[in-house]
Amino acid sequence: MPYEIKHSPEFAIIDYHLAPGESVIAESGAMVSMSSNIKMKTEARGGILAAAKRKLLGGESIFQNTFTAEGGAGRVMLAPGAPGDVIAFDLEAGRSLMIQSSAYLAATPTVQLDTKWGGAKGFFSGVGMFLLKATGPGTVFVCSYGAIYPKRCDGQYIVDTDHIVAFQDSVQYSISKVGGIKSLFFGGEGLVAKFSGQGMIYAQTRSPSSLAAFLHPFRPVKNNN
């Protein structure tokens, strides 16, 4: 295995051992450390149009870094910004994984990435968050805030949208509120995704919006002078 995922599930990183000439592509800012013969190339991945699509939807940096081992084997460690886990998915040719955009960390160069808009209700409550479709062949690395709780959907399953990391393309989803209007104001449970069909769903055990809400009162206040 060219890679090892260490310190799972609390502060997982990918420790990637690249063969000479081999590459791995990662989100900007993910590099922790690397051996001196690794060449890093920064580019807008998937061409300008795809990058523009992602940029328009806000939030995500449009640039990715390609790390290549030159003149010998090399080592690069990659980490996400959020505390939590990293999981590798080996995708067969043509099979896809739907990934929440900020959960995408890295992939081998043969993985195709396509952005899929989250839907009018806004699948996710954060700015510029959308669904990414990763199609094999290749390996895609997904990161989570918290640990990853995998669940096999066999009919119907409900997941709070803040907690969705990824799911197989064989399941369908619809967004709704749980428990009616009263719950929306008092229940705290906002939007949920109702999954149906057969396939795997990956949930994260913490919610980024809860952390954002917690940190809110600690932020400096804008000075309107």
Partner 1 sequence: MQQTIEFGPAYAMATIDLAAGEDVTVEAGSMVGMSDGLQVKTHIGGNRVGFFGAILNFLGALVKKFLGGETFFVNTYKPPEGQPGRVLVAPALAGDIIHYALDGTRSLMVQASSFLASAGGVTVKTKFGGLKSLFSGQGAFWLIVSGAGDLWVNCYGAIEQVDVQEKYIVDTGHIVGFEDTLDYQIKGAGGLKQTLLSGEGLTCHFSGQGKLYIQTRTVGGLVGWITPRLQG
Partner 2 sequence: MRFETAFGPGYTLCICRLDQGDKVVAESGAMVTQDAHIRMETSASAGKGIGGMLKGLGRKMFLGESFFRNTFHAETGPGEVTFAPKLPGDIMVYEMRGQDMIVQQTSYLAAAPTVEIETKWGGFKSFFGEGRMFWIRAFGTGPLALNAFGAIKEIQVDGYFTIDTGHIVAFEPTLSFSIKRVGSWFSTFFSSEGLVCRFAGSGKLFIQTRNPNEFGTLIGSKLPPRNG
Q: Is 1 helix (H, G, I), strand (E, B) or coil?
A: coil
Measure the CA–CA gap between 125 and 115, rounded to whole angstroms.
17
172 binds partner 2 (CB under 8 A): no
- Give me the 23-62 binding string for partner 2, x by CB under 8 A, dash otherwise: ----------------------------------------
- Toward partner 1, which CB reaches closer, 181 or 215? 215
- Give me the 80-109 binding string for partner 2, x by CB under 8 A, dash otherwise: ---xx-------------------------
Measure the CA–CA gap between 12 and 165, rounded to whole angstroms.
15
Measure the CA–CA gap between 152 and 199, rounded to whole angstroms.
6
Q: Dihedral of CA 189/193/199/201: which sign?
A: negative
As a dihedral over the C-alpha atoms of residue 35, residue 140, residue 147, residue 185, rounded to 10 degrees, the angle is 130
Task: Give residues 79-138 in contact with partner 1 (rule: CB under 8 A).
Answer: 79-83, 102, 125-129
Measure the CA–CA gap between 67 and 140, rounded to whole angstroms.
15
Task: Give residues 183-222 in contact with partner 2 (rule: CB under 8 A).
Answer: 183, 186-189, 194, 203-207, 210-211, 213-222
CB 143 within 8 A of CB 172: no
CB 166 within 8 A of CB 98: yes
- Interface residues with partner 2 (CB under 8 A)? 9-10, 83-84, 145-147, 149, 151, 155-160, 163, 178-179, 182-183, 186-189, 194, 203-207, 210-211, 213-223
Q: Which residues bind partner 1 (CB under 8 A)?
A: 6-7, 10-13, 15, 27-36, 38, 40, 42, 58-59, 61, 63, 65, 77, 79-83, 102, 125-129, 208-209, 211-213, 215-216, 219
